[in-house]
Amino acid sequence: MDRPETHEFDPYYNTYVSLIEEGDVMPTLRAQPAELRDLVSGIPDEKGTFAYAPGKWSLKEALSHLIDGERIFAYRILRISRGDETPIEGFEQDGYIENSNANGRSFAELLEEFDLQRRSNLLLLDNVSDEGSRRMGTASGCPVSVRALAYISAGHVMHHVRIIKQRYLSQLG
C-alpha cells in the first residue's frame, strides 16, 4: 500500500505517518505484534501497573490504548473502504482507558488481543483494492483515506513503542 499524500490526512497525523519509511506499510504492520511481545517479554505482570509520572497511563494501559486504536482504525478503514460517506465521530482515549480494566489483565492477554486485532486488520487491508485504499472519508471531522489510516495505525504503534522504551523501560530497569 503506497504512502498517502499529505491531503489524505489531517496534519496532526503526520507525527505518525512520518515514522514509516518509504515503501509499503504492510511489512511494518505485520512485524509490530512480535515487536510488542519482545518489548515487554521478561517484565513481571505486577510491574505492568507502573506509570512513569503522576497522571500518565500505566504500561498495561498504554498497551490497552494500542488495542483500542487498532479497533478504531479498523472501523474507520472498513467504513471508508466500503464507500460509506457518513462522517465518523472521534473518541476520547482517556475515557476508554479508564474503563479498560487494563491493570487487572496480564501482559500475555493484552498482547494476544493486540495480535488478534492486528491480524484481523491485516486481512481487511490485504483485501482492499488500490482504488479502495485511496478512497476518502471523514473521521474526527477531518478528511482521511484508507491508506492514510493504515500508515497512521502503524505510526501510532511506533510512536508508543518509543515512549515505552524511553519512559517506561528506562525506569523499570
CATH code matching the domain that covers 6-48+55-172, chosen among 3.40.50.720, 3.40.50.1100, 1.20.120.450, 3.40.50.10490: 1.20.120.450
| pLDDT value for 172 | 85
At 145, give phi and psi (nearest 5°). Answer: -100, 165
Closest CA to 76 of 58, 91, 94: 91
- Condensed to tens digits (0 to 9), the pLDDT of residues 30-50 reads 999 999 999 999 999 999 999
Distance CA 166, CA 72 (A): 26
pTM: predicted TM-score of the whole model, two decimal places: 0.95
* Segment holding 15, helix H or strand E: helix 14-17
